[in-house]
Amino acid sequence: MTGRQRPGFPARLDRSAAPARPVQKLPAAEGPRPLPPSSQRQQVHGVGLDSQAVRMAMVNKLAAQGITDTRVLSAMGMIERHRFVDSALANQAYEDTSLPIGLGQTISKPGVVSRMAELLLGGRADKPGRVLEIGTGCGYQAAVLSLLATEVYSIERLRGLHEKARDNLRPLRLPNVHLLFGDGMAGFPEGAPYAAIIAAAGGEAVPQAWTDQLAMGGRLVAPVASAGGVQQALMVIDKTAQGLRQTILEAVHFVPLKSGIA
């Protein structure tokens, strides 16, 4: 992998040309930018939405639900979810509920985001290297992953959401997040192999491209639908020297996995 050019932030996926080249790289920073003046902050129950107390209340609920990885809980407490939803829904940002983000898509529940992130880490003490996210959406999960992994590639098939995520993430100045516009079912081979892959949409099977691009010893977390797509469950796939080890977990509800771009 040494010497290979990596896409910058954001990057457009163009499979008819050479591997994606840098389009724009945001300047590095120690963390999210300073909060706006208090006069510009939204309020919920008399408390500013950007208040640490509001986020910690959400984190405490996640811990009560069974999330134990302190790295995940810390990341969930640092990323301000209300910045990724429409202002009309901001008062619901820290409830454990999915919210619409446009184009028929949703931002996942905090409980689901934290659960999948914890599964992705798998209890290992070391930080994952390069992570591929299928389905950027509004960019919230990519922001959370940026605090948990060395590098995050996130691909979105809907141009409107790709642009929304870019606008949402730009103020945070996360230099290790790379946004891609393209067909997530094909993954992003130019960045492979990945230490971990996480998907925010579910089909009846995990695409072969994803497991091909997963590094040996890597882990994939994705929702998988039953025949007919009536129900979905979380699936964890570990890539071992003996082959792929699959584990089916609890029921979930994600948008359907689709191919192509729009």
Going by pLDDT thresholds of 50, 70 and 90, the confidence category of residue 229 is low
Residue 175 lies in a domain: yes
Going by pLDDT thresholds of 50, 70 and 90, the confidence category of residue 19 is very low
Domain count of the fold of the chain: 1
**From the candidates 98, 108, 114, 154, which is the catalytic residue?**
108
Domain limits for position 215: 11-18+104-256
**Would the CA dihedral through 54, 31, 83, 78 be positive or negative?**
negative
Residue 145 lies in a domain: yes
Instruction: Tell me the percentage of the chain whose pLDDT exceeds 90.
Output: 78
Give the CATH number, domain containing residue 133: 3.40.50.150
- Average confidence score pLDDT of the chain: 86
Residue 73 lies in a domain: no
- pLDDT one-digit tens code per residue, 38-60: 333 444 444 466 678 999 999 99
Residue 124 lies in a domain: yes
Global confidence as pTM: 0.83
Active site residue 108: yes
- pLDDT one-digit tens code per residue, 77-121: 999 999 999 999 999 999 999 999 999 999 999 999 999 999 999
Residue 39 lies in a domain: no
Please give the pLDDT value at position 51: 78
For 125-176, give the DSSP string.
SSPPSEEEEE--TTSHHHHHHHTTSSEEEEEES-HHHHHHHHHHHGGG--TT
Residue 262 lies in a domain: no
Residue 57 lies in a domain: no
31-35, 166-170, 223-227, 239-243: which has the minimum mean pLDDT?
Answer: 31-35
Residue 56 lies in a domain: no
* pLDDT of 62 over the 60 cut: yes
Which residue would you say has higher pLDDT here, 124 or 32?
124
Interatomic CA distance for residues 158 and 155, integer angstroms: 9
Biggest distance spanned by C-alpha atoms of the chain:
58
Please give the pLDDT value at position 52: 86
